[in-house]
Structure 1
């Protein structure tokens, strides 16, 4: 099965979309190594890192993890990032102190890069508005250290996470009624198939990575769709996903 061709056709060869597919032991994609602003998809990586490195978690930290993944809470994400990197927000720092602070913020990047993820930057919190103080300093003067992910790496991380440990808390598994299901790839799942996913959105991007598994667990599909442009791109995530499933023969 020519998954590269399927991905390109499903995306309409658009230069504002990226697609990654894993199906039947094969992989393919369209612009799958193009860096995108991930929005809340980055929370998948923070969850992955937390589960791997913090097997014993306090009730409050667990509450934050749950709210970060299930509800996509930015407030919860702020606590998680602080705990994972042993940093906190606050007033601006002098250069020497800022260097120490930023080095700590690189812990998550370092772990993923050691695993072969070379195109990512995941060291920033997610914001309802914007960053201030040392958090703003941490982006660099020209925002060059903004979070960045490719759809290929994002999907691979989701699938590897579920393979290593099938999400014991169940936070990634979605059902109808969940905005991250109804508005994104979950909405196009074949009848009866389960979906584990993490979506992200801003006024500039609409992104989702998802794992679909059949009721008998004999078939599965990994699919990631990232889009960028104007705020009306939400439908395109579903449309691209629906086109992929149709070409594979699942829709």
Structure 2
């Protein structure tokens, strides 16, 4: 009898673990502590930027940076400056909706249709807010529309949090990814939800964004094949850079390759990049700036310091 009970308990525990794994999509990726050399490089880039842009009153609390050195992909080296600060991400949030869509597709929760692929392409390549709204509807089983009675609104908002639950199960912290990006602003039930529930806006940290981009870079986001599909959409042409590529392109050496998702509003200017330098050295660099949306040189200036540091000869041990 005791053996039967033990076997039953083992079966139940195994079933629960499998259910958790299925709902999360994969096991949480551990976040490595900062690497001393990488952290020193990030600290130098931040200090240089604060000094260089003192004239426009750039302050430390308006800047966040995370660098992941992928020289050894099996052991990424991380450094960050205010990397855990939640910041309104503008269109950088679309990276998270892209990854969630591929998770849903992999799990059979979404049908892979030409219209869905068109929306993914427009969301990432062109940064279309309309396409993103469609993707959010598909991911969460919700739609925008007229106001709802509060009980219905609460049920609607619970469904709208599906992407938040997914990333929380993967160990992501400090983020909120349940809002559509808007041009003129939300209306109807979207406004209701903003008034009734916290947090009021999307939020990302540069640490979380860099982690996701690193997983996409290394084939660990959903699957190697789906990570490659995501990278194809994120690829930018440095010879004829579009508006997004121009955020960091000027700071990259000739022959570099760039995958990126930028975000900007009247108050924010961000860039999340995966770069392969001409020597094959790859890194992820995420830079968020607040209060200086028109200061187009901050992100390239930081990128130049990072690139120079990564290309500098490593002292012999």
Same fold (TM over 0.5): yes
Give 1:85 deviation, angstroms: 0.6
Equivalent residue, structure 1, for 2:96: 45
- 1:237 counterpart = 2:299: yes
Query: With structure 2 as the length reference, what TM-score do the two structures score?
Result: 0.74
Q: Name the CA distance, whole Å, in 2 between partners of 1:74 and 1:143.
A: 22
After TM superposition, the runs of 4+ consecutive aligned structure 1 residues lying more than 4 A away are none
- 1:20 counterpart = 2:66: yes
The secondary structure found in structure 1 opposite 2:218 is: helix
Equivalent residue, structure 1, for 2:7: none
Equivalent residue, structure 2, for 1:4: 39
Give 1:216 deviation, angstroms: 6.2
> What residue ranges of structure 1 are gaps of 5+ in the alignment?
none
- 1:134 counterpart = 2:195: no
The secondary structure found in structure 1 opposite 2:131 is: helix
Give 1:142 deviation, angstroms: 8.0
Q: Name the CA distance, whole Å, in 2 between partners of 1:240 and 1:15.
A: 16
Of Structure 1 and Structure 2, the greater helix share is in: 2
Equivalent residue, structure 2, for 1:115: 170
Give 1:141 deviation, angstroms: 4.3
Q: Name the CA distance, whole Å, in 1 between partners of 2:292 and 2:66.
A: 22
Q: Name the CA distance, whole Å, in 2 between partners of 1:42 and 1:186.
A: 21
Query: With structure 1 as the length reference, what TM-score do the two structures score?
Result: 0.92
| Aligned residue runs from structure 1 range 57-96, under 5 A | 57-96=112-151
Equivalent residue, structure 1, for 2:267: 204
The secondary structure found in structure 1 opposite 2:297 is: helix
Q: Name the CA distance, whole Å, in 2 between partners of 1:64 and 1:6.
A: 38
Please identify the structure whose Cα radius of gyration is greater: 2
Give 1:105 deviation, angstroms: 0.7
Q: Name the CA distance, whole Å, in 2 between partners of 1:163 and 1:120.
A: 22
> What residue ranges of structure 2 are gaps of 5+ in the alignment?
1-35, 51-59, 313-317
